[in-house]
């Protein structure tokens, strides 16, 4: 099914070039990253002649996939969720791909309000005949952003992202957000789903992402490291909101945001079955707009809490968003600059076949210039049960707060459910 030129363009060598083992390995890695083949074999036919014949053998995967699922979580006491997705990753044998996904989430506290997210994307694998990939991603969503029982906040988003991606080596990848635009509407919502205090804005971004990946397996890693650096720049010159442009009191959106992440995976005291993993993360965000007339919106600020950062805490609850609401505003925003730091550690212990368990510790904090928080560093420990699958570990666990704030009536901890590695 796959056209011959797709395979030839993925090879790191050409006819009449000197062939090295490194070029063969690089070619195998590039063919694997296409995601089209279940097996790949590049072999050299022995010959006394210095000019050799190279054979490339591949076994095709079925390019179409249909996924669906459902689940529950203790977010806002009890939340039900479900999703379905459809993808086709080899249109007409060209390695072009289209993908769509739709998910719903409903909570017993706000039965009239449905969280949803619809996403569609297109991949051009050889842009203008090069090895650079081009991507178009379109999203429309509505979700709760503050899940405190007394003050529910939500956001509607329509987004378009145009990006480029290039594998510089089999370990190093460079991505560039050519242009991304979000059109957001924030609002408060009551138990009946009624909306109030609407706030509109546009957020346009550009910026690079660099990934250095030495993991032995991207889904269930046991050895290696993963490093990621991302920088985003937003400005009215790109299409972001200018002050008072959309509504009276609207603030200019102009900022620089950088995030750095380093993960490492290793055997625990030379025991190859037990894996110790940790993740170190940090970030810097600064408002570059006119003083007094600009702010970084809440959806781009640093918050911790939830299964991807500090398990055992509610999503985006660190620091308390209410402490970042400026006088006269309804929603949190950043007028100055902020940083965050986070450490995640996990000891993964196999129990039987693909079943295992993990002990973890998560901790971190957010600093905001001009703001003082009573308890900046928050942390939690916990235990999760794991089922290893080809797409990553399925985790069901509980995180226990080590520094529970009784004054704010914080819960003791939180259950969580996730798929994949941190």
| Alpha carbon distance 295, 322 (integer Å) | 16
Residues 72-89 pLDDT 10s: 666 666 778 888 999 999
| CATH number of the domain to which 22 belongs | 3.10.20.310
At 244 the pLDDT is 63
Start-to-end CA distance of the chain, whole Å, equals: 35
pLDDT, residue 118, reads 97
Flag residues of the chain having pLDDT under 50.
149
pLDDT computed for residue 109 by the predictor: 66
Residue 3 lies in a domain: yes
44 located within any domain: yes
For residue 5, give its domain range: 1-61
Inside any domain, residue 14: yes
Residue 156, in any domain of the structure: no
- Work out how many domains the chain is built from and give that number: 1
Q: Considering the domain boundaries, does residue 419 fall inside one?
A: no
pLDDT for 334-385, tens place per residue? Answer: 999 999 999 999 999 999 989 999 999 999 999 999 999 888 999 999 999 9
Indicate the DSSP class of residue 300.
G
324 phi and psi, to 5 degrees? -110, 15
In the block, residue with structure tokens 């939500």: 154
Residue 111 included in any domain? no
* Rounded-to-integer distance, Cα 54 and Cα 47, Å: 11
Cross-strand pairs, 107: 79, 110
Q: Where are the beta strands (DSSP E) in 224-270?
A: 224-234, 255-268
Residue 392: predicted pLDDT: 80
In sequence order, the 6+-apart residues with CB closer than 8 A to the CB of 369 are 336, 337, 338
């Amino acid at each position: 099914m796959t056209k011959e030129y797709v395979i030839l363009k993925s090879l790191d060598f050409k006819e009449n070039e000197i062939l090295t083992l490194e070029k063969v390995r690089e070619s195998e890695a590039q063919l694997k990253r296409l995601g089209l083949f279940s097996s790949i074999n590049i072999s050299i036919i022995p010959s006394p002649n210095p000019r050799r014949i190279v054979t490339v053998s591949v076994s095709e995967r079925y390019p179409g996939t249909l996924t669906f699922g459902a689940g529950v979580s203790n977010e806002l006491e009890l939340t039900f969720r479900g999703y379905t997705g459809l993808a086709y990753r080899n249109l007409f044998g060209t390695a072009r791909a289209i993908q769509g996904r739709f998910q719903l989430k409903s909570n017993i506290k706000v039965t009239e309000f449905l969280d949803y997210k619809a996403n569609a994307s297109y991949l051009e694998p050889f842009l203008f005949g090069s090895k650079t990939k081009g991507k178009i991603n379109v999203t429309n969503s509505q979700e709760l952003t503050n899940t405190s029982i007394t003050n529910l906040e939500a956001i509607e988003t329509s987004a378009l992202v145009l990006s480029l991606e290039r594998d510089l080596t089999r370990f190093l990848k460079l991505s560039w957000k050519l242009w991304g635009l979000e059109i957001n509407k924030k609002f408060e919502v009551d138990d009946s789903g009624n909306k109030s205090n609407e706030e509109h804005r546009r957020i346009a971004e550009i910026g690079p992402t660099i990934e250095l990946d030495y993991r032995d397996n991207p889904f269930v890693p046991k050895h290696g490291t993963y490093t990621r650096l991302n920088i985003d720049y937003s400005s009215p010159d790109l299409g972001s909101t200018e002050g008072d442009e959309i509504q009276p009191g609207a603030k200019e959106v102009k900022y620089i945001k950088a995030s750095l992440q380093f993960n490492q995976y290793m055997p625990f005291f030379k025991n190859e079955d037990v894996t110790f993993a940790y993740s170190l993360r940090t970030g810097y965000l600064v408002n570059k707009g006119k003083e007094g007339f600009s702010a970084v919106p809440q959806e781009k600020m640093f918050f911790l809490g939830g299964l991807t950062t500090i398990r055992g805490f509610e999503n985006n609850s660190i620091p308390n968003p209410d402490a970042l609401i400026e006088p006269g505003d309804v929603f949190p925003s950043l007028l100055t600059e902020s940083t965050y730091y986070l450490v995640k550690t996990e000891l993964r212990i196999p129990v039987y076949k693909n079943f295992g368990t993990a002990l973890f510790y998560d901790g971190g904090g957010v600093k905001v210039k001009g703001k003082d928080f009573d308890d900046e560093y928050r942390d939690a420990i916990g235990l999760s049960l794991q089922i290893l699958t080809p797409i990553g570990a399925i985790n069901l666990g509980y995180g226990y707060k080590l520094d529970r704030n009784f004054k704010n009536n914080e819960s003791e901890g939180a259950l969580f459910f996730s798929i994949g590695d941190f």
